[in-house]
A and B are shown apart, each in its own frame.
Chain A
Amino acid sequence: MSHFNPELRQRAEELVALYPNRRSAMLPLLHLAQEHDGYLSEEGMAEVAELTGTTPADVQGTASFYDMFFLEPVGKYVVAVCTNISCLLAGGEELLDHAQSTLGCSIGGTSADGMFTLEEAECLADCNIAPCVQVNHRFVRTTTPATFDQMIGEIREGRRDSDIPPHGTLIRVRRNGVLRNTREALAAERAVAGDARDARKAQETK
């Protein structure tokens, strides 16, 4: 019995098919599992293990290396405030302090209503609009306490639903092209193309 719903299971199998080796789909599949549950549940990781031909322990061991994967439930919105060098110079620590009081939780904690989890982020590569804030990995570009609070208010009122999906949903654009062929067929095709080129070259140098 699959933990994923049929649509997600279908997407998971499409992902596995993109790689020469099933295990390579590990990170994209973990993102899918997180999309399903909002975090990595044991059932989600077990399904990823089955899809990648690994064990749940191996999946958890891999997932725990990466900052974006949560092994415990988090809020519907993960708010990340950067305090790395460029943001530090622009008041990142002060904005993070402010975020703690607005959301009523400490760094790594979740607001009382379970809506927001607050993270201190490392550089998110948007240093010219500092301090940088992401919500569920969408750049919200709120650099002041006032705009930060306004943004949180909009999320609470559901006015940001179209640009900020719930935590875990990363890529909403689905791939439309399937891989063409097996590696053996690709190698054969490459050989044929190489022969044709050699022939053309011989022709041109004649």
Chain B
Amino acid sequence: MATLTAAPIVSSRREFADSHTLSRFLATSGFEGLKKALSLFPEQVAAEVDAASLLGRGGAGFPAGRKWSMLRKNAVTYLVINGDESEPATFKDHYLVEHEPHQLIEGVTIAAYALQVTQAFIFLRGEFALGLERVQQAINDAYDHGALGQNIFGSGFSLDIVVHPGAGAYICGEETSLIEALEGKRGFPRIKPPFFPAVNGLYGEPTVVNNVETMSNLPWIIRHGGAAFAALGEGRSTGTRLFALSGRVNNPGMFELEMVKNTFRDVIFDPQLGNGIVGGGKLKAFIPGGVSAPWFGPDQLDVPLGQDEVANQASMLGSGSIVVFDEATCPVRAAWRITKFFSRESCGQCTPCREGSGWLERIMYRLEHGGGRIEDIDLLLDLCDNISPGLLWPPQQTTICVLGPSIPSSIHSAIKMFRDEFVAHATNDGCTYA
């Protein structure tokens, strides 16, 4: 039985149809965290976030407090919020920007105060038309309410936030690519070093880039204290997280759960959560954290939902999105579709990713749709190895950014777990399902 979090942290207004309005926000502790933060010294605010040991919710799971402390030694110029949520099967930031936009603005303002930044940008993926409108409205409301702009709540601290629409590119979720897009260019990732945003970010200035969900946790952390947040979860994984469940389950949806206290089995099978497999079928496999993550099988259902707990099983919790495959799911088809996605979204800078993703997609296509050969299975693994040498986890990299080494995850997982099905596809001259 799952341990639901007694009180949700970032989705606390979910029950209200008007959760996106200023009046609902003000009636539900809105701006209390910010007002408290402004009464503290910036270092004290940063110390609370350190004490919370809040891990970044974007996918990489880097501690937000440490990201900030790397910068506090030098003045930070810009705060950039990553809302380019595009990892397939991830839909948590979609909820946060549409339904709790003021909470995001409050969180950004708290972070800006801790970092003493006076200019922040919120980069939202362009496909979130409603989210863009809601966040812009929340910014407008905050200016009118004295919670943004000059001399916020009479504290002497000033901040401007600009919402910046993306235009349809998965790669812009990579922070240096996002910065390029914010500078008005093609979203090509920058090589690190030297372009670590903390040192050399937007316009060459020190820049902090944080995820929407990370920011949305800050009002609660300041209201209740970092220690209260750290008391939730276990080990390095503190607080709660928004888990996005989709695929072959009866009740797909987004659930805010305490970290580590629940397992994948809980999320997928608990009647209050995923409520089991469609049609009472059997689980075949699942993706634990977005399509860049290696797959898990039924043996890993009891792995707890924690950063290190999943990493210890050679995958990642990533963006917190779980995709469930049942017995009727063709693993070749699933891996082919994920590869097609990477092939479409590769930015084209680095040869292994640009060429490799296309080759892999074509080979996977012919295995699934006819024309595949037995030798293709080893050819796939060889090509994957050229993109990410050794096919290790965490992966080795031959490219500027991590999109490249994400490509082999699904193919390598599918072959490892279902090699016989690949063989059957090759001998059957196409898919063996239906």
Contact = CB atoms under 8 A, between A and B. Distances in A.
Interface of A: 18-21, 23-28, 30-31, 52, 54, 61-63, 65-69, 83-86, 88-89, 122-128, 130, 134, 136-139, 170-177, 179-180, 186, 189-190, 193-194, 196-197, 201
Given A65-B169, A128-B91, A137 B126 contact: yes
B86 A88 contact: no
B414 interface: no
Given A24-B184, A127-B252, A67 B168 contact: yes
Contacts of B203: 20-21
B137 A173 contact: yes
A189 B341 contact: no
B158 A180 contact: yes
Contacts of B296: none
B94 interface: yes
B167 A66 contact: yes
A123 B181 contact: no
A23 B252 CA distance: 41
Nearest to A15: B162
Given A122-B86, A123-B86, A186-B119, A68 B126 contact: yes
B89 A186 contact: no
Nearest to B124: A171
25 contacts: A20-B119, A21-B183, A21-B184, A24-B182, A24-B184, A27-B167, A27-B184, A28-B164, A31-B165, A54-B184, A65-B186, A66-B168, A86-B89, A89-B323, A122-B345, A123-B90, A127-B323, A128-B254, A130-B252, A134-B127, A175-B140, A176-B143, A177-B139, A179-B160, A180-B158
Given A123-B341, A190-B118, A173 B164 contact: no
B86 A128 contact: no
Nearest to A198: B41
A27 B181 contact: yes
A122 B394 CA distance: 26
Nearest to A189: B158
B266 interface: no
Interface residues of B, number: 74
Contacts of B225: none
Contacts of A127: 88-91, 244, 246, 252, 321, 323
Interface stretch (B63-71, B144-152, B299-307, B374-382): B144-152
B143 to A, nearest CB: 4
B72 to A, nearest CB: 13
A150 to B, nearest CB: 21
B170 interface: yes
Contacts of A175: 136, 139-140
B325 interface: yes
B164 A27 contact: yes
Given A66-B167, A175-B140, A123 B323 contact: no
Interface string B319-337: 0010101000100011001
Contacts of B256: none
B162 to A, nearest CB: 5
A125 B136 contact: no
Contacts of A20: 119, 203
A54 B87 CA distance: 32
A150 B181 CA distance: 37
B253 interface: yes
Given A23-B184, A171-B136, A83 B165 contact: no
Contacts of A52: 184
A180 B136 CA distance: 17
Nearest to A170: B129
Contact of A125 (B91, B148, B341): B91
A71 B226 CA distance: 50
Given A67-B169, A190-B118, 5 more contacts: A65-B347, A84-B337, A86-B89, A122-B341, A196-B156
B245 interface: yes
A177 B323 contact: no
Nearest to B335: A85
B291 interface: yes
Which 5 residue pairs are nearest across A and B when measured between Cβ atoms? A26-B184, A67-B168, A66-B167, A177-B143, A68-B168
Given A20-B203, A27-B181, A177-B140, A85 B132 contact: no
Contacts of A177: 139-140, 143, 148-149, 160
A81 B145 CA distance: 40
B85 interface: yes
B165 A27 contact: yes
Contact of B325 (A23, A89, A173, A193): A89
Contacts of A139: 130
A124 B158 contact: no
A88 B148 contact: no
B60 to A, nearest CB: 18
A181 B381 CA distance: 56
B174 to A, nearest CB: 14
B73 interface: no
B253 A180 contact: no
